[in-house]
Amino acid sequence: MPADATSIVIPQIFINRYGDRRRIELTLHEARTWGYGPGDETEMIFAQAKTTGTSPSRFCLRMIFDFEKVRRDKTSNSYRACQRLLKDADFHSTHLSAADAYGVLVPVHYGMWFMDTGIWAGKVLLSITQWCGISWHELSFTNANTEANRILVGRTVEALHDYGIVLGDLESTTDNRQFVFDLNAPGLTRADVLNGQTPCYIVGFSDAEANHKCQRKLPILPHGSFVPFEKFGCREIACVSSILGFMKKSKTSTSASTALQWYDEYSKRYPTMSNLDVLMAQRAKLYPNMPPVYSQEAPVSFTSNELYAEAIFPKTPDEDSFPETPDDSDDEEQTVEDANAVVAHSLAPEPLEPAPTRYSARIRRTPE
């Protein structure tokens, strides 16, 4: 909390309306009566809260009104919403604590709280997290729906998978609500917002799973044609590519079939290379004009201009804050190989700063 903050205000309360799941604003009275009753809402009521003072901190409050009543009706949507909030908090605490501590890639989670409002709305269950901004679902209806921003969403999802997490429930464009853009980030200009420079976060981990070892063979970039997920190598990454419109028929500088063929040949030539290394080399070689997933790093270079030349990865010091990612295979050598590959890609921490997590800190979060 900033030192000069004397109070917290809640300027707006929202719900994502049924149907198109667009965000609408509620009055305080509507919020109180909307949450529970026959035909109660399936969507969560949420609000932005901010501290007063010269540099306000912003928080996202997700709320269950009249919790004591809700907990007695396990068939209600509000009860299910309550379960989702608890699962989300549990997942943050169990699997995202390293990423969450930095407030990059995913919001900081400040825990679950009760607020007793008496006869107004009884006990209100609150989830308090960092306010990360407006959802990509909302922005996608505006002129901010640029290719650069779609690529930014893709880079963020790829980083999450590299971190070992899948969201688990991405099926349609309304799930774009889970990608959030912080338009209040310091120093952000209008041009930055259009050019994929906004800090982007992923929220909502009630259906997420940890220990994912991503086997994608393609990046989330325009592919110009539909690619079945069996060929893509990771169902969720394929789904996000489709949701972002990257599998529509169009002319691209690198077709999906070219990229897949390159991936297979490169993996064959460098059998000890980890999947992440192959993907970084593929992006650098076949998509040189696209931003890398981890733009803080020095670029990947190659030993020659040959199509399948060996990649040279930026050298960085070790980090010791890797999340556990158990290896399902019986091949112990492969496990060591993967760990070494991770070390080779890590970012050097800033002096006197705590070590950033292995992947999340590598996406540039604020404009320079």
Binding residues for Zn ion, per CB under 5 A?
161, 214, 234, 237
**111 exposed, middle or buried (CB, 10 Å; 0-12, 13-18, 19+)?**
exposed
**Residue 22 Cα distances to 2, 47, 105, 140, 173, angstroms:** 32, 15, 23, 11, 11
CA distance 12 to 37: 23
Residues 79, 70 contacting (CB under 8 angstroms): yes
Residue 67 or 263: which CB sits closer to Zn ion?
263
Residue 237 or 286: which CB sits closer to Zn ion?
237
Q: How far is the CB of 327 from Zn ion (least distance, A)?
A: 15
Residues 161, 46 contacting (CB under 8 angstroms): no
Which among 309, 308, 342 is positioned nearest to 324, based on CA atoms? 342
Residue 61 or 237: which CB sits closer to Zn ion?
237
- Tokens linked to 311: 């990649």
Helix, strand and coil content of the chain, in percent to the nearest 5, comes to 35, 15, 50
Residue 44 or 238: which CB sits closer to Zn ion?
238
Residue 237 or 290: which CB sits closer to Zn ion?
237
Residue 49 or 167: which CB sits closer to Zn ion?
167
Neighbours of 181 (CB within 10 A): 25
Q: How far is the CB of 216 from Zn ion (least distance, A)?
A: 5
| φ/ψ of residue 60, rounded to 5 | -105, 125
Q: How far is the CB of 142 from Zn ion (least distance, A)?
A: 29
- Tokens linked to 206: 């009630």
**200 exposed, middle or buried (CB, 10 Å; 0-12, 13-18, 19+)?**
buried
Q: How far is the CB of 204 from Zn ion (least distance, A)?
A: 17
Q: How far is the CB of 298 from Zn ion (least distance, A)?
A: 25
User: For 106, what's the count of Cα atoms within 13 Å in the CB-facing half-sphere?
Assistant: 29
Residue 106 or 214: which CB sits closer to Zn ion?
214
Q: How far is the CB of 290 from Zn ion (least distance, A)?
A: 19
Which among 30, 45, 127 is positioned nearest to 78, based on CA atoms? 45
Q: How far is the CB of 177 from Zn ion (least distance, A)?
A: 20
Q: How far is the CB of 104 from Zn ion (least distance, A)?
A: 19
Residue 122 or 154: which CB sits closer to Zn ion?
154
Residue 82 or 160: which CB sits closer to Zn ion?
160
Residue 134 or 342: which CB sits closer to Zn ion?
342
Which among 202, 252, 205, 204 is positioned nearest to 227, based on CA atoms? 252
Q: How far is the CB of 166 from Zn ion (least distance, A)?
A: 6
Q: How far is the CB of 160 from Zn ion (least distance, A)?
A: 9
171: left (phi over 0), alpha (psi -120 to 50) or beta: alpha
Which among 208, 202, 158 is positioned nearest to 179, based on CA atoms? 202
Task: Evaluate the CA torsion angle 71, 76, 82, 84 in order and state its sign.
Answer: positive
